[in-house]
Structure 1
C-alpha cells in the first residue's frame, strides 16, 4: 500500500511542479532563477537533485515490481546522468531545439503504454521537466551584466519573462534575425522598387 502511494506521488511530481512553478513570479523562484543563471554549482546541484529523485523512483518501482527487466533501460539513463557535463548537454539540447523536445515528449507518451518501458517513460518525463527549468545560454550571459541583474532584482516578473524567453523557440516565419532586410517582411522588395 505504501509503495503504491509513493508511486502515485512520483507520477504527480511532473504535473504538480510544472503547473505551480513554471513561469512563476514568486520570490523563491526568483532566487532559483538567479542562482541557476549565475552559478555552475547551482546547476550541478539541480541536476543531482533530479538524479536522486529518479533513483528514488527506481527504488520504489523495483520494490513493487520485482523481476521487471524494463527498469534496466531507465537505470542506464540514470547512470549516464552521473556525468554533469552529459546532463548539462542534454538539458541544453532540449532547450535549444524545441522540435526535439516535442518529439521526445510524444515518444515518451507512446512508450509509456509499451510493456516494460514504463520506467523509461517516467525517466524521460523527469528529464523534460528538469530541462524546462534550466537556464538558457542567453540568460546566463545576460546575468553577467550588472544593469540587467539590477533590473531583475527589482522586478521578479521581468526576471521570469527573461528566464523563459527563448527567441529561437519561435516558428521560423516569426523569427527576426535583426536585419532590416528580412525575407518575411518584404522590405527588400520595397527597397528594390524605390531604387528603380
Structure 2
C-alpha cells in the first residue's frame, strides 16, 4: 500500500524529468538545461517584478510552463502573458495550460519577432547557446519592446553573459543556489540610447 502511494507520487515526477532530458538531448542549443527550473528560482524571478504595475508580460523560452504557472499565480485578472516558445512539444504543453487561463497566449515563434510592448519580460533563454546574430537581435528587440519603466528579468547559469547584457541594459543580479545548477538572475533596465 505504502509503495503504491510512493510510486504514484514519484512516477509523474520521473516521467517529467525523463521528458526534460530527452528534450535537452534532442536540442541542447535551444533547450539549455538538463533539469527544469526549480520552484525557488521561479518564485524568486516572479518576485522581482512589480505586479501592481504590470499589465503586459512576456516570457521568452517558456519551456513546459514551470515559470509560466508562477507568473499566472502572481498576475492580476486583467494582466496578459505572452509565452514565447519554439519547441513544438513544449508549445503543445503551454497551449494545454492556456486552455484553462484566458490571460495566457502562446506564441510559437522566435523571440527575435517580439511585436507588442511589455511592462515586464522574463527570459529563460540560454543566451550563450544561441548563435550570435539571433542572440543580439533578441536582446535588441527586448530593449525596444519594454515600456518606459519596464524591466527585463533573465536568468543564466554563469556570469559570462554580463558583458553582453551591459551592451543593452543596466542591471543588478541576485544568485539562487536552490536550482540545478545554481543560477544568476538579472534585473535589467534598458539603456535608452543605442550603445551597440
TM-score normalised by the chain length of structure 1: 0.23
Higher fraction of strand: 2
Larger radius of gyration: 1
Bigger RCO of structures 1 and 2 (CA < 8 A, at least 6 apart): 1
Higher fraction of helix: 1
TM-score normalised by the chain length of structure 2: 0.23
